[in-house]
Amino acid sequence: MKTRVVVTGMGVVSPIGNGLEAFEKSLREGHSGIRFQPELEKLQFGCQVAGVSELSEETINSYFSEEQQIGMNSHILFACIAAMDAWKDAGLEILPENSEKVHWDCGAIVGTGVGGIDTIGERLVPMTNEGRVRRLGSTIIERVMVSGASAKVGGLLGLGGQVSSNSCACSTGTEAIAEAAWRIEQGLCNRMLAGGSEGVSLYTWAGFDAMRVLNRNHNQSPEKASRPMSASAAGFVPGSGAGVLMIESLESAQARGARIYAELIGKAVNCGGQRMGGSMTAPNPTGVQRCIQEALTNANIQGSQVDAINGHLTATFADPYEIQNWQQGLQVTPETFPRINATKSLIGHALGAAGGLESVACVLQIYKKFIHGSLNCSDLHEKIKDYQHSVIQETQDFPDLRVLAKASFGFGDVNSCLIFKAWESK
């Protein structure tokens, strides 16, 4: 009998609030976390707005000792806070670092898109080129290695399962959750922290700006800049933060009386091969549809049973194609298309963290039975007008929300899809 997998804890650091309460409030009330960034204007970026997850020194010091903060840059800091919050939210105690206890039954897959690029750009490269290698100190490696975030999480919490950082661009956070669930299903562990983290660095955003895929049209009106599904969408807005779920076997969750937010009933990960219309930067539609269908098969449900979709929806040219892919993948009609929203309209595109942050949003919505409004799409794209009734622009209660599909699509033509279901204890 297949092991069932549930969500028992969550943690979030985001441009619209840190912690579940603040995050949920902003989702419900439609607060944009996009702000003008003066440094981007100074450096002549085209897009000068971004979603920055802010943490006060006071907050950071409340989580970590000075020693624990050594070797942290922004993406590691965000991941650790989100992971520790998810751990505590799951009802588990954080033991002191000098405790000898290792949680052999728990691991972490916390991925990232570009990881410690801030450390690379601000310290490693300039100091090395100046011949000042000796002055780099001991913490460069742990800050720039791709597994930096998961490694720090593993040490803070004493994890003894697989501790790893996956990386598949914008699909990272969502894929992490799928990978964690598979590990639990195989009986290799009881629980896993899973999600993604992305730091605040103009070196991350520069490459996207150079590709002209960021919105340059709303530097004076940042809260209107992230416009998934709109006719005036002109590229995505970069974001940052971390979203981490505690994924657990149902047996383990019930044995310890854990609160269950939702069940993860299906998942799929694939690639479109950069063929059949796909490329490094654009999805193969057949690949996307197959991913959605495989997730449905894994969940043992029909597409018509999906009540809501939290889309990838970045506000690039790909949005209308994504809607069509969902329609084909779920095998529904425009008339029967489920409700759909885009969390990126509030938080921007947090890249490797997007799937983690947005999955937290999904689980909150399914647990609390609401669907948050998508900002900035009152001028719906021409090709999405047939789905107008499904596009949720104002937050609404949704008492019948039982099944929610989440997908992410990344550079490399990589796809991941999760199917969450409301927890119904029998």
Partner 1 sequence: MTRDDVFKKAVEMLVKYKKAKLTADQITEQTTLLKDLEMNSARLVDMILDFEDEFNVRIEDAEADAVRTVGDCVELIMRKVS
Task: Note the residues at the interface with partner 1 (CB under 8 A).
Answer: 66-67, 70, 97-98, 135, 137-139
Instruction: Tell how strand 17-18 and strand 5-14 pair up.
Output: antiparallel
Provide the angle, in degrees to the nearest 10, between the axes of the packed helices 354-368 and 172-185. 70
Could you tell me the smallest distance in angstroms from the CB atom of residue 69 to partner 1?
Answer: 9
What's the number of CA atoms in the CB half-sphere (13 Å) around residue 228? Answer: 28
How far apart CA 277 and CA 274 sit, in angstroms, is 7
- Identity of the residue, 144 or 301, whose beta carbon is nearer to partner 1 in the bound complex: 144
Which tokens is 238 given? 């970069």
The minimum distance between CB 137 and partner 1, in angstroms, equals 5
Closer Cβ to partner 1, 57 or 66, answer by number: 66
Measured from the CB atom, is 119 or 390 closer to partner 1? 119
Residue placing its CB nearer to partner 1 in the complex, 97 or 379: 97
Least distance (Å) between residue 96 CB and partner 1:
9
Q: Which helix (H) or strand (E) holds 87?
A: helix 74-89
Smallest CA-to-CA distance from 344 within 201, 243, 206, 244 is with 243
Distance between CA 75 and CA 148 in Å, rounded? 9
Structure token digits, residue 373? 């409004």
CB of 66 to partner 1, least distance (A): 4
Q: Which long-range contacts (CB under 8 A, 24 or more apart) does 37-43 make?
A: 37/202, 39/202, 40/202, 40/205, 41/219, 43/202
Q: Nearest approach, Cβ of 101 to partner 1 (angstroms)?
A: 16
Residues with a known catalytic role: 170, 312, 349
Run of H or E residues at 181: helix 172-185
Q: How far is the CB of 67 from partner 1 (least distance, A)?
A: 6
State the amino acid at position 159 in one-letter form.
L
**147-159: buried (b, 16+ CB within 10 Å) or exposed (e) per residue?**
bbbbbbbbebbbb
- Could you tell me the sign of the dihedral formed by the alpha carbons of 119, 178, 191, 16, in that order? positive
> Each residue of 234-268: b (16+ CB within 10 Å) or e?
bbbbbbbbbbbbbbbbbebbeeeebebbbbbbbbb
Question: Smallest distance from the beta carbon of 159 to partner 1, in angstroms?
Answer: 18
Q: Which two tokens stand for residue 241?
A: 């933060």
Nearer to partner 1 (CB atom), residue 67 or residue 424: 67
